[in-house]
Every structure is written in C-alpha cells, then in structure tokens.
Amino acid sequence: MKPATPLPPGHGRFFLIFGGIYLVLTLLLGISPRHPTDWWMEHLIILFGFSILFATSRWFVFSKTGYLLAFIFLCFHSVGAHYTYSEVPYREWWAALTGSPVEDGASSRNHFDRAVHFLYGFLLTRPFREAVYFVLAPRSTFWSHLAVITFIMASSLFYELFEWAAAAIWGGEAGMAFLGTQGDIWDAHKDMLLATVGAALGSLGMILHVRFTGKDPAREWGEGRKKATEAVRG
C-alpha cells in the first residue's frame, strides 16, 4: 500500500473539534425527528459523502476553510432533516428573535429547502474547486470554475433523482415528506437552479478575491496538496 500524505499542521485538531461538534449536533437533532424515516433518508447521502472523504483522505484533504464551509452547510442540513425541510419553523424563529414576522408575500410555502439548495452551491464551491486543482489540474481559472459549476449542477440533479426514487420506493407520508415538493411541480427544477446560482456567485466571489488580492487560495491549496502527494509517492 502506498504511504499516506501527512496531514497539514493543525488539521488533526480541527477534525476533532468540528467533527465532534457535528456529531453531537446530529445526535441531538436525531432525537425524536418529526419524520424518522425522512431523517434516515436525509442522512444516507451524507454517509455516502463521508465514505468518499474517508476513502480518499490518504491522498487529499481540503483546507480548513473548505471544511468549515462544508460544516456550515451540514448544520443547515441537519436542521432540515430533523423537522423535514418543508416544516422547518424558521418564520416562528425569526418572529421570536426580532418581534416581527417574516415577510414573504402571500405565499405559505416553506422556503428553507430552497435556501439550503442555494447554500449547497454557494458554500461548497470553494472546497470543490480545491479538489478540481488536485484531480484535474485545469489549464486556466475559467475551466476550474466551469468544472465546479458543472459538478454542482450534476450532483444537484443526482440528488433530485435520489429524492424521486426514494419517495417512489417508500411512498406514503414518509415519501412525500422526503420529496418535499409542497405542491410545486417545478420544485426540482427550481432547487437545481438555486444550487447553480449559488455556485456561480461562489465562483464570482473567488474571482473577485483574486482580482483584488492577487491570491487564489483554492488553487494554491489544491496544487499544494498535489505536490505533497507526489513527493510522498516518490
């Protein structure tokens, strides 16, 4: 077996702290979820993602910033899984916090799921771009951003297909809670669009960062980890 690439300084402690926080949060929000079947289905995809990260960690790890952005996204996902996305009481929380109701027009639709789809694209663009520079070594920044946005679109499509298949298999209240269309026939399309918009804005933010600072942290991290891996392999 080829030797593993050493962890960057501070990563081990970082994993223990934020991994522990996420584990505790997940366990707490796993107590009496509103729809237990939905809670388990929502976490299947997370378990799949963690399995990939664990299998590839011998060669590549993301930056602390990348993991932190993913951690924020996962916290939102855990809240959605506890209540089911279509029943997260964010309006009540906002009213209790500010003393004023959420103004979202005449719509009674719960928009928490739409927000999390947007955050998926917006928050995970940075870590995905780090991986792109490690795996693909694109010739230009344009192709690195295009690869990330394309991946966000493709993975969003996969998730919508997973939702549809799971809902069709389980059926009944559990299936509909997981699907969460709330009567909108274009729900899947809008979710994928919001993830794409989030990814585009995330890429725009990195482009502006490079323009004003001259530094590209995602590229530097991905290329740096690639060199470290090649050095270990000899």
Distance, CA of 166 to CA of 23 (rounded, Å): 25
- State pLDDT tens for residues 35-68: 888 888 888 889 999 999 999 998 999 999 999 9
pLDDT of residue 21: 97
CA distance linking residue 216 with residue 187, whole number of Å: 35
Per-residue b or e along 129-159, where b marks 16 or more CB atoms closer than 10 Å to that residue's CB: bbbbbbeeebeebeebbebbbebbbebbeeb
The single-letter DSSP state of residue 106 is: B
What is the rounded average pLDDT of the residues 71-88? 93
Q: Is the pLDDT of residue 223 over 80?
A: yes
Highest mean pLDDT among 100-104, 111-115, 166-170: 111-115
Considering only residues 97 and 169, tell me which one the structure prediction assigns the higher pLDDT.
97
Among the listed ranges 113-117, 131-135, 164-168, which one has the minimum average pLDDT value?
Answer: 164-168
User: What does the block give as tokens for 184?
Assistant: 């909108």
Closest C-alpha to 12, from 61, 79, 84: 61
- By the 8 A CB rule, do 131 and 60 touch? yes
- Binning pLDDT at 50, 70 and 90, where does residue 95 land? confident
Is the Cβ–Cβ distance between 5 and 228 less than 8 Å? yes
Among 31-45, 146-160, 186-200, name the one with the lowest average pLDDT. Answer: 31-45
CB atoms within 10 A of CB 214: 7
pLDDT at 86 over 80: yes
Q: Are 225 and 11 in contact (CB under 8 A)?
A: no
- State the average pLDDT for the chain: 89
